[in-house]
């Protein structure tokens, strides 16, 4: 907690003049539009093309959806089974991410005082799962927790526990891919907050744990909430690591994305219906977060 960064007021009196607007020619009005400047027409065209790349697939999904059969499709037994499994596993994964990820975010925020190599290592450890293809995560999880894995062998021999291809494996895969979202959301909120209130709390007799519990957590609560929502959404959509590490057993590991992929071979309408369901969740999350929290999330 850098007490040293506490600013003195009017420290600028002895400082060199701020580099600002040129003294001679000034814009007539300082409207928001004037500050943004004018955009070349070519950029506008390319930007619209980019928008099309992002939106057209979703438009196709909505246009080609079997709207008439939709109620029957999304309430069919296999879809409901996959939906239930997805909701349960993503919820558990989010709770696990909260329990593990918030302390990690605090550690990351405190690592500002640590030596640079350690700090970079810590940050890389959180970032890599974010950049990794989820399938690679699934293979890595197999090598750790599989029957002959680094820990999995010992778990099987000593305790008779096998993790792969269980509902537990689905949760682990989801935690692996979604925790970085939570960690970076909370860390972003921490670094954006005025942490000096923690010092104020300490002078009022609050122990480190009390400061964390009664000041720091409420301070970053919006970041924690935003992180949890992103985390849940990512867990709900998890496919690559899940199918690699947990497989596709109906009712056990066949989550919505896995079910959708498999249905594409046998019953495309069902696949589209599930895809719409997942799209609806994404839109709901967007509406929930709006602009309030997303800009603060550095993921």
Partner 1 sequence: MNGDGCLAGTFTARRGDLAVAIDLDVAPGRTLALFGPNGAGKSTVLAAIAGLLPLEAGRLRLGDRVLADASSGRVLAPEARRVGVVFQDYLLFGHLTVRDNVAFASRMAGASRRASREAADRWLERVGAGGLAARHPLALSGGQQQRVAVARALAAEPDVLLLDEPLSALDVEVRVDLRRELADHVRGFAGPTILVTHSLADAAIADEVAVLEQGVVTQRGTLDDLRRAPATPYVERLVHAAA
Structure tokens at 7: 């600013």
**Among 122-130, 200-208, 232-240, 284-292, which window interacts with partner 1 (CB under 8 A)?**
200-208
CB 153 within 8 A of CB 160: no
**Among 59-67, 201-209, 265-273, 285-293, which window interacts with partner 1 (CB under 8 A)?**
201-209
If one asks whether residue 30 binds partner 1 (CB under 8 A), the answer comes out as: no
Which contacts of 277-284 are long-range, i.e. CB under 8 A and separated by 24 or more positions? 277/74, 277/79, 277/83, 278/236, 278/237, 279/58, 279/61, 279/62, 281/233, 281/236, 282/233, 282/237
Neighbours of 282 (CB within 10 A): 13
Residue from the set 79, 171, 219, 262 that interacts with partner 1 by CB under 8 A: 219
CB 236 within 8 A of CB 259: no
To the nearest whole angstrom, how small is the minimum distance from the Cβ of residue 211 to partner 1?
8
Number of residues that bind partner 1 (CB under 8 A): 29
DSSP of 126-140, one letter per residue? HHHHHHS-HHHHHHH
If one asks whether residue 202 binds partner 1 (CB under 8 A), the answer comes out as: yes
Structure tokens at 223: 């970041």
To the nearest whole angstrom, how small is the minimum distance from the Cβ of residue 14 to partner 1?
7
**Among 49-57, 101-109, 213-221, 229-237, which window interacts with partner 1 (CB under 8 A)?**
213-221
| 132/217 with CB nearer partner 1 | 217
To the nearest whole angstrom, how small is the minimum distance from the Cβ of residue 285 to partner 1?
24
Kindly state the helix (H) or strand (E) to which residue 48 belongs, with its residue range: helix 41-64
CB 253 within 8 A of CB 174: no
Rounded Cα–Cα distance for residues 54 and 129 (Å): 24
To the nearest whole angstrom, how small is the minimum distance from the Cβ of residue 199 to partner 1?
5
If one asks whether residue 139 binds partner 1 (CB under 8 A), the answer comes out as: no
Residue from the set 59, 125, 221, 282 that interacts with partner 1 by CB under 8 A: 221
| 147/214 with CB nearer partner 1 | 214
Structure tokens at 187: 């860390």
If one asks whether residue 113 binds partner 1 (CB under 8 A), the answer comes out as: no
CB 138 within 8 A of CB 173: yes
**Among 17-25, 126-134, 149-157, 210-218, which window interacts with partner 1 (CB under 8 A)?**
210-218
CB-based contacts of 290: which residues, under 8 Å, 6+ apart?
none
CB 196 within 8 A of CB 179: no
If one asks whether residue 205 binds partner 1 (CB under 8 A), the answer comes out as: yes
Residue from the set 210, 212, 264, 299 that interacts with partner 1 by CB under 8 A: 210
Rounded Cα–Cα distance for residues 238 and 110 (Å): 30
Residue from the set 21, 84, 196, 292 that interacts with partner 1 by CB under 8 A: 196
If one asks whether residue 204 binds partner 1 (CB under 8 A), the answer comes out as: yes
To the nearest whole angstrom, how small is the minimum distance from the Cβ of residue 80 to partner 1?
40
To the nearest whole angstrom, how small is the minimum distance from the Cβ of residue 141 to partner 1?
38
CB 197 within 8 A of CB 215: yes
Residues contributing to the site for partner 1 (CB under 8 A)? 1, 3-4, 6, 8-11, 13-14, 194, 196-197, 199-208, 210, 214-215, 218-219, 221
């Amino acid at each position: 907690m850098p007490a040293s960064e506490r600013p003195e007021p009017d420290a600028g009196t002895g400082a060199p003049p701020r580099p600002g607007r040129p003294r001679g020619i000034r814009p007539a009005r300082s409207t928001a539009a004037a500050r943004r400047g004018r955009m070349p027409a070519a950029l506008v065209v390319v930007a619209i093309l980019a928008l099309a790349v992002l939106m057209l697939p979703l438009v196709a999904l909505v246009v080609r959806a079997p709207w008439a059969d939709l109620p029957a499709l999304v309430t069919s037994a296999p879809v409901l089974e996959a939906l239930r499994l997805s909701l349960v596993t993503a919820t558990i994964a989010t709770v696990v991410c909260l329990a593990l990820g918030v302390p990690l975010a605090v550690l990351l925020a405190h690592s500002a005082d640590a030596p640079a190599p350690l700090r970079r290592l810590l940050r890389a450890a959180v970032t890599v799962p974010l950049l990794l293809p989820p399938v690679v995560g699934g293979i890595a999880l197999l090598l750790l927790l599989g029957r002959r894995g680094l820990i999995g062998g010992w778990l099987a021999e000593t305790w008779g526990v096998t993790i792969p291809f269980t509902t537990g494996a689905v949760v682990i895969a989801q935690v692996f891919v979604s925790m970085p979202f939570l960690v970076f959301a909370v860390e972003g909120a921490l670094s954006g907050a005025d942490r000096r209130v923690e010092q104020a709390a300490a002078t009022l007799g609050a122990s480190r744990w009390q400061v964390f519990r009664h000041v720091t957590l409420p301070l970053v609560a919006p970041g924690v909430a935003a992180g949890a929502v992103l985390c849940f959404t990512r867990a709900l959509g998890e496919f690559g690591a899940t199918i690699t590490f947990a497989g596709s057993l109906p009712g056990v590991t066949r989550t919505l994305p896995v079910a959708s992929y498999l249905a594409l071979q046998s019953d495309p309408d069902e696949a589209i219906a599930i895809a719409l369901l997942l799209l609806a969740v994404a839109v709901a999350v967007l509406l929930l977060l709006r602009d309030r929290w997303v800009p603060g999330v550095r993921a």
